[in-house]
Amino acid sequence: MGALIGIDLDRAADLLIQGKLVAIPTETVYGLAANGLNTEAAAGIFAAKNRPTFDPLILHVGSIAQAKSLCLDWPEAAEKLASRFWPGPLTMVLPKASHIPDLVTSDHPTVAIRMPNNAMTLSLLQRLPFPLAAPSANPFGYVSPTNAQHVADQLGDHIDYILDGGSCSIGIESTIVSIDTQNRVTVLRLGGLDLETLAEAIGYPLEESLSMHSNPKAPGQLDQHYSPGCAMIPFLNFNPDAENKSVTNTTGFLWFSQADKKEAMNSTSLINSKHYVLSKDGDDREAAMNLFGALRQFDKDGCDSVYFTWAPEKGLGRAINDRLKRASAKTNLH
C-alpha cells in the first residue's frame, strides 16, 4: 500500500517516539529518520535501506546545545563552524558521548552531527527529546531522493510516514568534516557547502580524506555509491565514429551545461538519444540541485547507458564530480 505522504508534524513526531521510521525533508536530500538514541529504531533504518552496518549514520539536531550534548568534546573549530553554517549543509564528526548507540556510529568513537536548514524538519526536531538518525531515504547505493515522491517510489512499503517538504533546495548531501582536539578540520565528504567558503570561515587550510574502501568514518566515502540502474560513462570515453551507430533511444547524455551539449552535438549525431542539461548557464548550484533528479529520470526513461560531462573542479562542481565518479564506479569495475 505504501507510506502516507503528508505535512502532519504531530503524526510524524508520534511515530518517531514509538520507534517508527519517518522520511523527512532537508535542504540537501530527504532523510530516512528514526530515534538516534534507540538501537532498535536505528536498526530499522539499516533494514529498510539494506544498508551495511559498517556505514555510520548522521544525527540531526534542532539546536547547537543538543549537538554539544552528543559529544565528549566540542573544539573551538566546531563552535566557529556551527555558529556560521548551522542550520545548513555541514556535518561535523566529533568524539561521541557514551549514550549514543554503537550501531549509529558503526562502532567508531566519533559521531556525525548536523542541523538541517529546513523549517519543517527543524520544527519536528524541536518537538522531540532525541536527535534523529537520518541517512538518505533510498535503497543503499542508489541515487538520493530530492522530493517526497522519490521516497515513496522506492521505500514507501518500508516506512511509516513521509513528511512532504517539497523539493530540496540544494539537492546533494551535506559536506562532512571531522574535527580533532587540536582543531584540525579534515573534509571526509564533498557536499552542499563548497570548500572555498568552508576554508575561508575556518581561516586555515583544510585537510582531505575523501575515500575509504571499507569501514568508512562517514557516509558517502565508499568507492561505489549514488548509482542509478544504468551504466554511467564519462563522455571523454565516447567515440563518435565507433559508437554513433549504437546510440539508440536507450542511450542517455548528461551535460553539465548547454555549452557542453552544443559542442558535442556539433561534432556528432545524437538525435535519437535522451539528453539532460544540469544547468543551462553552467551554474554549479543549479546543477547540483538537478543532479539526482536527472539520474533518476534516465532510469525512468529506460536508459541502459548514460554518458556524462564533468563539472568544473570548483565550488559545488567538486561535489557533483564526486557523485558522478562514485556513480560510475560500478561501470568501471567491468
Q: What does the domain layout of the chain look like in residue ranges?
A: 4-208, 231-332
Write down the pLDDT at residue 274. Answer: 87
Distance (Å, whole) CA 177 – CA 207: 9
Write down the pLDDT at residue 141. Answer: 78
Q: What is the pLDDT of residues 71-86, one digit of tens each?
A: 999 999 999 999 999 9
* Band (135; pLDDT cuts 50, 70, 90): very high
Write down the pLDDT at residue 224. Answer: 52
Share of the chain above pLDDT 70, in %: 90
* Residue 68, SS3 per DSSP: helix
Average pLDDT rounded to a whole number, residues 300-328: 91
Distance (Å, whole) CA 132 – CA 128: 9
- Residue 190 pLDDT exceeds 90: yes
Average pLDDT rounded to a whole number, residues 322-330: 84
Q: Return the ∠ at Cα 113 (arms to 152 and 17), rounded to 5°.
A: 55
* Band (175; pLDDT cuts 50, 70, 90): very high
Q: Are 94 and 58 in contact (CB under 8 A)?
A: no
Share of the chain above pLDDT 90, in %: 67
Q: What is the pLDDT of residues 154-171, one digit of tens each?
A: 888 899 999 999 999 999
Burial class for 65, CB neighbours closer than 10 Å (0-12, 13-18, 19+): exposed
Write down the pLDDT at residue 334. Answer: 36
Superfamily, domain 231-332: Threonylcarbamoyl-AMP synthase, C-terminal domain (3.40.50.11030)
Write down the pLDDT at residue 3. Answer: 79
Edge-to-edge order in the sheet of strand 231-234: 231-234, 305-308, 251-257, 274-279
Write down the pLDDT at residue 171. Answer: 94
Superfamily, domain 4-208: DHBP synthase (3.90.870.10)
Q: Are 327 and 228 in contact (CB under 8 A)?
A: yes
Highest mean pLDDT (candidates 58-62, 222-226, 320-324)? 58-62
Q: What is the pLDDT of residues 27-70, one digit of tens each?
A: 999 999 999 999 999 999 999 998 888 889 999 999 999 999 99
Q: What is the pLDDT of residues 90-123, one digit of tens each?
A: 999 999 999 999 999 999 999 999 999 999 999 9
What's the mean per-residue pLDDT of the chain?
89
Distance (Å, whole) CA 152 – CA 156: 4
**Residue listed under C-alpha cell 583544510:** 206
Q: Are 61 and 113 in contact (CB under 8 A)?
A: yes
Write down the pLDDT at residue 88. Answer: 97
